[in-house]
């Protein structure tokens, strides 16, 4: 994945190095951190665009994020697309776990899936929840899943 800062600049180092450097810097400044990872997608004609974000939250002091975009022309059902979003987030979380554990940083994985059965995305809720919880991560869905519902959503448009 091609990771970038919110301003669009490419990350100058590997994702692991950038995350570790950011965590180290923020902790040195005395900030308490939590990281939220989420993904979203949007179908545009024959293409499906996916955005994944790593949101660094500073307790009572704002935050920042890194993001990555990818596109595919593979045709998929809504449920399949929702599970792919979750899979992208879980893969990123799994990759970053050693760094987060090293610095004792809390992690949440956010799914852009509505808990209300009246919404179409709810079709993937049980599978997504099982996948994320089964991997040992804290699970958040809409309306609490801001990393996917707001941050990744803004990047995929």
Q: Where are the beta strands (DSSP E) in the chain?
A: 3-5, 33-44, 47-58, 63-72, 106-114, 138-142
**What is the pairing mode between strands 106-114 and 138-142?**
parallel
Q: What's the mean per-residue pLDDT of the chain? A: 95
The predicted-structure confidence for 60-69, as pLDDT tens digits, reads as follows 999 999 999 9
Q: Which two tokens stand for residue 57?
A: 């939250």
The predicted-structure confidence for 64-120, as pLDDT tens digits, reads as follows 999 999 999 999 999 999 999 999 999 999 999 999 999 999 999 999 998 888 888
Torsion sign over Cα 128, 146, 81, 99: negative
pLDDT value of residue 157? 78
| CATH number for the domain that contains residue 77 | 3.30.420
Of 107, 113, 104, the C-alpha closest to 95 is: 107
Output the pTM of the full model. Answer: 0.94
| Number of separate domains in the chain | 1
Cβ–Cβ < 8 Å for 41, 51: yes
Residue 147 CA to residue 157 CA, distance in Å, equals 15
Q: Is the predicted pLDDT of residue 132 greater than 90, yes or no?
A: yes
**What is the pairing mode between strands 106-114 and 33-44?**
parallel
Range of the domain at 144: 3-156
Element (H, E) at 21: helix 15-28
């Amino acid at each position: 994945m091609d990771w970038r800062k919110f301003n669009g600049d490419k990350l100058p180092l590997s994702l692991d190095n950038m995350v570790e450097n950011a965590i180290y810097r923020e902790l040195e400044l005395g900030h308490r951190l939590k990281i939220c990872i989420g993904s979203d997608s949007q179908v545009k004609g024959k293409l499906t665009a996916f955005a994944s974000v790593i949101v660094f939250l500073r307790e009572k002091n704002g935050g920042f994020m890194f993001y990555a975009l990818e596109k595919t022309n593979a045709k998929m059902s809504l449920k399949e697309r929702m599970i792919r979003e979750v899979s992208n987030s879980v893969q990123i979380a799994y990759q970053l776990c050693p760094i987060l554990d090293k610095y004792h940083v809390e992690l949440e994985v956010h799914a852009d899936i509505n808990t209300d059965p009246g919404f179409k995305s709810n079709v993937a809720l049980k599978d997504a929840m099982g996948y994320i919880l089964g991997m040992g991560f804290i699970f958040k869905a809409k309306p609490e899943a801001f990393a996917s519902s707001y941050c990744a959503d803004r990047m995929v448009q």
